[in-house]
Chains A and B, each alone.
Chain A
Amino acid sequence: MTDTILPIRARSDPRIRELKRFFWRLGRRKTTIVGGVIVAVFLLLAIFAPLLAPYDPIAGNWATVRKAPSAAHWLGTDELGRDMLSRIIWGARASLSAGCVSVGLALALGVPMGLAAGYAGGWTEAILMRLTDAMLAIPFLILAIALATFLGPSLTNAMMAIGISATPVFVRLTRGQVIAAKVEDYVEAARALGNPPLRIAVRHILPNVLPPILVQATLTIAAAIIAEASLSFLGLGQQPPQPSWGSMLNVAKGFLNQAPWMALSPGAAIFIVVLAFNMLGDGLRDALDPRD
């Protein structure tokens, strides 16, 4: 009896059907799969860096200063004789943690603000949106540079600066989605049942506006990784001797004639991981697009 009922229930549940359709659409695009696989590889590199890196990323070796790529050092060595591959693998930690932590911070600040602005309206919305407009008025990297300058140079401060700079995008996006969702029938029904506003906003509206926010989060991780590399390139992010792709490029700039390989691998690493997040974000957006 149970055996015959369960499949019918599973088939008729619109949420499961929608989820299956979403994964089918997601898997249909090869670029999304490739993006996802690359992101997963870099995540594994970052997590298992101590096991995977062939050399110590910090200890210098005067016998191997600026050596071209070879069997011993696949990506060559830097100006202090450190293995480039090991520094790239350890650098993945700084880049990916900067991307994820700063976007997490932007989500933690931006989504509640957008939810409050969109649902409450009135003065709450006016004040929050003027504040958001003010933050959006300062170009993303300029604001991050200004914040990182005043907070002081470190990876943690760079992540905070990037997170705060990325917040207004999520406020705007969430507010727009909430304004559209709050006139839907299911919200009216929740209100008619006597649910308090906070419960309606968090339990009924938020889950329904999350998909576009997740797409934006994926794309913002790509932007945050570039921003962290930019801040590190300027000396405002990860501090030496700790490895970071941006600071490695900054050092490489001074050795373009003598050791061009020093500039190739850190930049290629940033490019590949950002490209992967962009491919994943584009795929998620298309899979969630109701017009598709």
Chain B
Amino acid sequence: MRRFILHRLGILIPTLIFVSMMIFALQQLLPGDPALALAGEERDPQVIQYLRARYHLDQPLPVRYAYWIGGVLHGDLGESIRIQRPVAELVLEKLPVTGELTVLAMIIALAIGIPAGIVAAVKRGTAWDVAANAVALWGLSTPNFWLGILMILLFSVHLGWLPASGYVSPFESLWGNLATLIMPAFVLGNAIAAVIMRHTRSAMLQVMRSDYVRTARAKGLSERTVILKHGLRNALGPVITLGALEFGQLLSGAVLTEQVFTIPGFGKLVVDAVFNRDYAVVQGVVLCTASFYILLNLAADLLYAAINPRLRA
């Protein structure tokens, strides 16, 4: 186990270095002088001069990277040109909103995906299996921003049950918070539920064919105990790992969902930065997302190793 952890950490460090290089290199894609592009449409000479000094644009590329990564390691992700505030501060401010949305979306995805996967596996080849697979295919094929628009049309415009947009903090009103987040969370969790359903089904089918499940049945245990205690417990390992990895996809989906429902989170921050050509914010958000995703990958691997005795040895 110790060797496994050391091996994973050994991979983690060069990966983080490559990620930081890639994100830094994004700036090089800007056509022409980066200072002019970063200064926005006004192109104030003072701002351009400040940007040249701030980002060491007169220095060679490796030196600029060294300055940039040095700043990042000290928590300095640059400054938003539009809002005139540190990017790290903006990210920390928006993170709890997106965090709440993604956690809620994951709960919905697990609540739909795991039971649907179990039913599809246990009743393989029946109408239940076909229906569960059809729902999964539907979930994978529906663009979440369209589903969001359809839900707004139904629940906000026609029925008037839920607010079409906005965000209410849970500290302000718990009910208001749930009312603003339930639709976006369902939209976001929908596609992940489909992926989790497919993996649960496949893992359950494999487990239910194993010798220990046959033994459990031979002992006279009820089918419910066999499925839930012996089958599901063993099938859940890869599903939990996958669930952790799907958080990265949730962050991607949050960009669009927050845009559709006008939720002031991480995704809205990056989209606004895109429209305002606030490149430092885009770089900062991508770097934070990637770092979070890498750590999540590590956590998923360690979790899988912890529950899998063959890897623990």
Which residue of B14, B29, B248, B275 contacts A235 across the interface (Cβ within 8 Å)? B275
Interface residues on B, range: 35 or more
Q: Is the CB of B289 within 8 A of A138?
A: yes
Residue in B30, B146, B164, B277 whose beta carbon sits within 8 Å of that of A271 in the complex: B146
Are B19 and A274 in contact, CB atoms less than 8 angstroms apart? no
Q: A256-B149, A257-B157 are in contact. Are A137 and B290 (CB under 8 A)?
A: yes
Establish whether residues A142 and B289, one from each chain, have CB atoms under 8 Å apart when the complex forms. Answer: yes
| Docked CA distance A112–B16 (Å) | 24
Q: Closest B residue to A129 by CB, please name it.
A: B11
Q: In the complex, what residues of B have CB within 8 A of residue A226's CB?
A: 143
Among listed B77-85, B133-141, B222-230, interface-contacting one: B133-141
- Known: A249-B149, A279-B137. Contact between A234 and B286, CB under 8 A? no
B65: shortest Cβ distance to chain A, in Å?
A: 14
Tell me the bound Cα distance from A271 to B249 in angstroms.
Answer: 19
Is there an interface contact between A152 and B146, defined as CB atoms closer than 8 Å? no
User: Cβ of A214 < 8 Å from any Cβ of B?
Assistant: no
Q: Please report which residues of chain A, range 253-292, place their CB below 8 angstroms from some CB of chain B when the two chains form the complex.
A: 253, 256-257, 260, 263, 266-267, 270-271, 274-275, 278-279, 282
Chain B residues near A143 (CB-CB < 8 A): 286
Cβ B256 vs Cβ A233 within 8 A: yes
A278/B290 in contact, CB under 8 A: no
Q: Is the CB of B274 within 8 A of A135?
A: no
* Cβ contacts under 8 Å, B150 to chain A: 263, 267
Residues of chain A in range 52-87 having any CB-CB distance to chain B below 8 Å: none
Given contacts A150-B30, A234-B256, contact A270 B18 (CB under 8 A): no
Q: B137–A147 contact, CB under 8 A?
A: no
**A151 within 8 Å of B (CB atoms):** yes
CB-contact partner of B248 in A139, A252, A279, under 8 A: A139
Query: Does A15 sit within 8 A of B, measured CB to CB?
Result: no
Instruction: Choose one: B18, B137, B143, B149; the contact of A230 (CB below 8 Å).
Output: B143
Query: Are A147 and B29 touching (Cβ within 8 A)?
Result: yes
B145 and A260 contact, CB distance less than 8 A? no
Residue of B nearest to A270 (CB): B143
Q: Is the CB of B141 within 8 A of A222?
A: yes
Determine if A133 and B18 form an interchain contact, defined as CB atoms under 8 angstroms apart.
yes
Q: Is there contact, CB below 8 Å, between A146 and B152?
A: no
CB contact under 8 A between A134 and B249, given known A151-B29, A235-B275, A236-B274: no
Give the CA-CA distance A45 to B4 in the complex, in Å: 53
A275 proximity list for chain B (CB < 8 A): 137-138, 141
Q: Binary interface profile of B, 259-283, with partner A (CB < 8 Å = 1, else 0)?
A: 1100000000011001101010011
Are A149 and B279 touching (Cβ within 8 A)?
yes
Min C-beta distance of B58 to chain A, whole Å: 21
- B254: min CB distance to chain A, Å: 10
For chain B residues 164-216, which have a beta carbon within 8 Å of chain A? 164
Q: Is the CB of B282 within 8 A of A146?
A: yes
Contact across chains for A146 and B26 when beta carbons are under 8 A apart: yes
Judged by a CB distance under 8 angstroms, whether A131 is at the interface is yes
**A-chain residues with CB within 8 Å of residue B290 when the two chains form the complex:** 134, 137-138, 142
Q: Are B29 and A234 interface neighbours, CB within 8 A?
A: no
CB closest chain-A residue, reference B295: A137
State whether the Cβ of A22 lies closer than 8 Å to any Cβ in chain B.
no
Q: Do A147 and B26 form a contact, CB below 8 Å, given A229-B143, A230-B143, A267-B143?
A: yes
Contact of A141 with B by CB under 8 A: yes
Among the interface residues B27, B157, B248, B252, which one has the most CB atoms of the partner chain A within 10 A?
A: B252
Interface centre among B143, B145, B260 (most CB of A within 10 A): B143
- Kindly identify, within residues 5 to 42 of chain A, every residue whose CB is under 8 Å from any CB belonging to chain B: none
The residue from A134, A149, A253, A260 contacting B260, defined by CB atoms under 8 A apart: A253
Question: Contacts of A152 on B, CB cut-off 8 Å?
Answer: 31
A282 cross-chain contacts in B, Cβ below 8 A: 137
- In Å, the complex CA distance between A266 and B297 comes to 35
Give, as a whole number of angstroms, the nearest-CB distance from B248 to chain A.
4
B153 located at the interface, meaning its Cβ lies under 8 Å from any Cβ of chain A in the complex: yes
Flag if B256 contacts A142 (CB, 8 Å).
Answer: no
- Interface digits, A208-235 against B, CB 8 Å rule (1 contact, 0 not)? 0000000000000010001001100111
Asked if B39 CB lies within 8 Å of chain A CBs, one says: no
A88 at interface, CB cutoff 8 A: no
Q: Give A123 to B47 CA distance when docked, in angstroms.
A: 44
| 22 CB < 8 A contacts A-B | A134-B290, A138-B286, A140-B249, A140-B252, A142-B255, A142-B286, A146-B283, A230-B256, A233-B256, A233-B259, A234-B256, A253-B149, A256-B157, A256-B164, A260-B157, A263-B153, A267-B143, A267-B146, A271-B141, A271-B146, A274-B142, A274-B143
* 20 further contact pairs, Cβ within 8 A, besides A145-B282, A150-B29, A263-B149: A131-B18, A133-B11, A133-B15, A134-B21, A138-B19, A138-B23, A138-B286, A140-B252, A146-B23, A150-B27, A150-B282, A151-B29, A226-B143, A230-B143, A234-B271, A253-B149, A257-B157, A267-B149, A271-B143, A282-B137
The 9 closest A-B pairs by CB, nearest first: A267-B146, A134-B18, A141-B252, A275-B141, A150-B29, A139-B252, A274-B141, A139-B248, A134-B19
